[in-house]
Structure 1
Amino acid sequence: MKPVYGKNFKLGILGGGQLGRMLIQEAASLDIQIHVLDPTHDAPCAELANSFTCGEFRDYDTVMKFGTDKDLITIEIEDVNTQALKDLQAQGVKVCPDPAHLEIIKDKGIQKQFYADHNIATSDFRLIESGTELTADDLPCVLKARTGGYDGKGVAVLRSADDLAKAFDGPCVVEDLVDIEKELSVIIARNEQGETKAFPVVELVFDPVANLVDYLFAPANIADDVAASAEKLAMQVADALEFRGIIAIEMFLTTSGEVLVNEAAPRTHNSGHHSIEGNICSQFEQHLRSVLNLPLGSTETLRPAAMVNLVGAEGYTGPVIYDGFDDLLRMEGVYPHIYGKSTTKPFRKMGHVTILANEVAELPAKVAQVKETIRVISK
């Protein structure tokens, strides 16, 4: 049965960052009121939410208090108190995605084991108690903190003995370093009725220093059979989880032509930001449709798109300035999204720019122009 929502329907979001902010912007068009919990008093959602609660979404009592009067709870970050969400479910509060799925995905060790148990193609791995256990015999490899990592934090690529100094303490996943031709992503939405839609495969280009997405191209410049394999693999993950909501599956295309799952995010994702302008239905609208059990929107591409992350420039920390913003706005087919964060620091995500073109071949030059035009600096 479809939920009845309106002015009295309370949709709560755990997390008040830029993903929640863009979700609120879509929710306004559907006349959905949003209530947000986040530990940062000036989080990007604070000025837009119908109500904003400053509190810790990892704390059991805080999440219980926040969620008790909500009709539905969803997330924009997976590192939340899942026991509280389970107990809210038991009290009749709808939670989407399911907290059991969050428990699998937010621990990268459990997540990788899930892929292995369900015959989902992924790189070889092992679990260790601390990255400091590694020796030169274990190299090359990728070291990932099992919990808490995001935006390139908690990840270290170790190629030589000198890199062992970058290894960090705490429970980790050690993955084989695969030869990557391209990094890809597929975002899938599924509602309670089982209706499922996949966004076209996108191609991600990572900053080698920060280990986060620098820019992307949509659709990915890959062969049709590779795109089909990527979508099939992403669907395999969603099916194995029996997932409801929206989930992003990041993948590797290896130099030998294999497609492997890297990791998943059970929420809207950086690899789908271009969809606001580039697709008929954005990932944020699709998130709302999926968790509210509404008919899903078309994921068809309107025009080829690129997305450039606006991150804090190295060497700048303090009140933010978007240097070159006027020049950016003079460019045709360029759509900036600023996240409302007051302070910048190196590699902090402060916004993004969507670029539309008539042909995919036009996008690389436009990406270079955007990156040369605007810098995120401080006073």
Structure 2
Amino acid sequence: MTFDPSISIGVLGGGQLGRMMIQSAMNLNLEVACIDPDPNAPCKNLASHFVNGDITNYDEVLAFGEGCDVITVEIENVNIEALEELERRGKKVFPQPNVLKIIKDKGFQKQFYLDHNIPTSDFVLISKKEELTRHKNLLPAANKLRTDGYDGKGVQIIKTEADLDKGFEAPSLLEKFVDYQKEISVIVARNEKGEMSTFPVVELEYHPEQNLVEFLFSPSEIDLSIRNNARELAKKVISEFDMVGLLAVEMFVTKDGGLMVNECAPRTHNSGHHTIEGNITSQFEQHIRAILNLPLGDTSVKGSAVMINLLGHPNHSGHARYEGLAEAMEITGMHLHLYGKKITKPFRKMGHLTLVGDDLTALKTKARALKESIKIIA
């Protein structure tokens, strides 16, 4: 097989995921173009070609994709019809538009799990808020917008009937809470040849109010049998989608050791950021390998890792300043990634830290202290 680095990759979305993908692509001498509605998107100064455009607009996505050999995404909210047309014109589009169409709508996504015998929690589809009162038997539950939700936005917790008024006045789903012991994630890759590879299971800890990942722990400390089952379940999900690319599959480990798929993301994901330093192959390189139909890389861990999301301070908006980073940089095994965002907003993802070492327990203690010492203010 001959590798040709002149192939042109186009990414819909120019945020931090695209930025880290470009950084990985540079090691393979690949050029990556990006389109994003933000004129100062994190990818702007790294992309070989940057287009300030609307990724939900048919004509703009079509024009952008015409100049690329392979088109991929770093966010699901894109114009599917334009991607379908690009595919008809012979362009490689990964993940495939039919997969994106299902996953970008949480209602379609949950129904897909039911139709393919993939374990998931009980749910009902809601068209408007008043319908919530008919399904009080599902409480406590989460009300999720079917589309446009991200980074914890588009989710309302409905614990009791008194919370029903918090529901969304838009198409959504009501999803019964799962009595779980752990929230985990498995990232799985699949190329056009059908070769698959999973990253080791990681555990996720969420911010109690914002539904954002606050800490990630790798490798997971759950039982080996559960870890093996989770990796096989992730393979089943990507195989049922017949998807090419990278898929992050978030799951609940129930109290009896069972698994339920919560939701998935057909792209690089927050639950794989630690792989840059913590694994032999990063999720970003693996995604590139998958969409170019290259051999998939070794996903073995190099050691223990803890990832911390760096979020904007809840009371600050404006030009970002970072308190406590200089002190954090004195810590052995600490790796800093800032996302090129000049403006901070409450709970905006501004970067992440990864701590690597031999002792996961010690790393967790360091990580919790670091979380308290670093503040992103304006």
TM-score band by shorter chain is over 0.9
Aligned residues: 376
How is 1:253-272 mapped onto 2 (pairs within 5 angstroms)? 253-272=253-272
Q: Deviations over 1:180-221 (max 9, x none)?
A: 211000000111111111000000000010011001101112
What is the distance in 1 between the residues matched to 2:296 and 2:231?
17
Q: Deviations over 1:77-126 (max 9, x none)?
A: 11111110110111111111111000010000000000000110000111
Aligned to 1:50: 48
Amino acid at match of 2:292: L
Q: Is 2:62 the partner of 1:64?
A: yes
After TM superposition, give the deviation of residue 4 of structure 1 in Å.
Answer: 5.0
After TM superposition, give the deviation of residue 10 of structure 1 in Å.
Answer: 1.4
What is the distance in 2 between the residues matched to 1:215 and 1:130?
34
Q: Is 2:10 the partner of 1:5?
A: no
Aligned to 2:182: 182
What is the distance in 1 between the residues matched to 2:248 and 2:350?
21
TM-score with structure 1 setting the length: 0.97
Amino acid at match of 2:286: Q
Aligned to 1:204: 204
Is contact 2:19–2:46 with CA below 8 Å preserved after alignment? Answer: yes
- 2:284 aligned counterpart, secondary structure: helix
What is the distance in 2 between the residues matched to 1:128 and 1:368?
38
Is contact 1:132–1:168 with CA below 8 Å preserved after alignment? Answer: no
Amino acid at match of 2:276: I
Q: Is 2:105 the partner of 1:107?
A: yes
Amino acid at match of 1:160: T
- 1:200 aligned counterpart, secondary structure: coil
- 1:134 aligned counterpart, secondary structure: helix
Task: Provide structure 2 residue ranges, at least 5 long, that are not aligned to the other structure.
Answer: none
- 2:51 aligned counterpart, secondary structure: strand
What is the distance in 2 between the residues matched to 1:130 and 1:296?
44
What is the distance in 1 between the residues matched to 2:71 and 2:99?
14
Is contact 2:129–2:165 with CA below 8 Å preserved after alignment? Answer: no
- 1:44 aligned counterpart, secondary structure: coil
What is the distance in 1 between the residues matched to 2:214 and 2:140?
24
- 1:188 aligned counterpart, secondary structure: strand
Q: Is 2:365 the partner of 1:365?
A: yes
TM-score with structure 2 setting the length: 0.97
What is the distance in 1 between the residues matched to 2:291 and 2:299?
17
Task: Provide structure 1 residue ranges, at least 5 long, that are not aligned to the other structure.
Answer: none
How is 1:32-43 mapped onto 2 (pairs within 5 angstroms)? 32-43=30-41
Amino acid at match of 2:289: R
State the Cα RMSD in Å: 1.2
Task: Give the one of 74, 77, 85 matched to 1:76.
Answer: 74
Amino acid at match of 2:129: G
Is contact 2:35–2:55 with CA below 8 Å preserved after alignment? Answer: yes
Aligned to 1:214: 214
Amino acid at match of 1:28: M
Q: Is 2:146 the partner of 1:146?
A: yes
Amino acid at match of 1:94: K
After TM superposition, give the deviation of residue 137 of structure 1 in Å.
Answer: 2.6
What is the distance in 2 between the residues matched to 1:33 and 1:338?
22
Aligned to 1:251: 251
What is the distance in 1 between the residues matched to 2:197 and 2:264?
16
After TM superposition, give the deviation of residue 3 of structure 1 in Å.
Answer: 7.8
After TM superposition, give the deviation of residue 163 of structure 1 in Å.
Answer: 2.0
